[in-house]
Amino acid sequence: MPQPVSKRKALHEWKLYLFLVPALVLVCTFSYFPAISAIYHSFFRWSGGEAKEFIALENFTRALEDPVFWGGFLTIGILVVANLFKMIPAICLAVLIHRLRSDRWQYWYRVLVVLPMIVPGLVTLFIWKFFFNPNLGLLNSFLDASGMMPVLAFADRTLGWGGIFQEGIPTAWLGEPALIIPALIIWGFPWIGAVGVLIFLAGLQSIGTEVYEAADLDGVTAFQKFLHIELPLIMTQVRLMVVLMMIGTLQGYGLQFLLLGESGGPGGAGMVPGLWMFNRAFFAGEFGYACALGLFLFVVILGLTFINNKYIRVDK
């Protein structure tokens, strides 16, 4: 428990506080100022220039009745659930790396996991967009070469999927409303994010060896070790990743924008609240309304984070 410091002592070396000023200025300028500006402009009819008209809560009442905005939360909900499952490969890889006996091999595997981070995220998205290309993309080529396309076509005919998979006709992964959500889930396969792996690995490495020794003595199997020892002891990290994932998924729209365009793709199936906010601002020229949408999104994320912190406890 840190000891309280007297005011006199704290201010004795007051010049040291000046070192905080540059960071504070930057945070205020690039984080707080835009946020405050967004709150201010959400009360205006504003098309992004100098002209603005005060309209009080009109943007908010309109947002409450906006079916596209709230419909986007359904898509987000599906993506959040999918992303929860997509955390599993990272956890598994972290466990596998952790269990390697050789420190040298652990090091090299960590390097291999981290190396793809040098590729900018945007480039990865463009590569995946190319994968989804119906005529030249890797995904359709793989399905054809592996013989899975006839299987999918059969399933399509049998289950009545509407002819989205047909033999001899390239599948338009980003051109069919029914395939948009699967495409948004598939992207990033095998879903091993470096940041996640490293965070889980750090958690695993804080587990004492005596715990494993005790488990070995009790004859616990490898899977039981994972289930009863490793997973519970890294729940703090898992919870952190869940929070980060939820915030990222709720706020994010870059993926949808790059893959599907500003209208959310065919049928608007990929429209999410963040993308709708972007659409209203930059395509409809309704910046004030977009700010109001952003505030709603902020409230939703805040609410979910609060629920997560209050109710999802980790028993150490």
For binding to another protein (CB under 8 A), which residues are involved? 44-45, 47-54, 132-136, 162-164, 166, 169-177, 260-268, 279, 282-286
Q: Closer CB to another protein, residue 181 or residue 240?
A: 181
The span from the CA of 221 to the CA of 215, in Å, is 8
Give the nearest distance from C-beta 135 to another protein in angstroms.
5
Distance CA 103, CA 241 (A): 26
Beta strands in the chain (DSSP E): 44-46, 52-54
Q: Decide: 297 and 305 in contact? Cβ < 8 Å.
A: no
- HSE-up of residue 59 (Cα within 13 Å, Cβ side): 28
Distance separating alpha carbons of residues 157 and 150, to the nearest angstrom: 10
The dihedral region occupied by 109, where left means phi > 0, alpha psi between -120 and 50, and beta the remainder, is: alpha
Taking the complex as a whole, the smallest distance from the CB of residue 204 to another protein amounts, in Å, to: 32
**What's the closest the beta carbon of residue 60 comes to another protein, in angstroms?**
17
Distance CA 240, CA 231 (A): 14
Q: How far is CA 12 from CA 4, 19, 21, 151, 214, in A?
A: 15, 15, 17, 75, 52
Cβ(168)–Cβ(134) under 8 Å?
no
- The amino acid that residue 194 corresponds to is A
- Whether residue 297 contacts residue 250, with contact meaning beta carbons closer than 8 Å, is answered with yes
Between CA 262 and CA 300 the distance in angstroms is 22
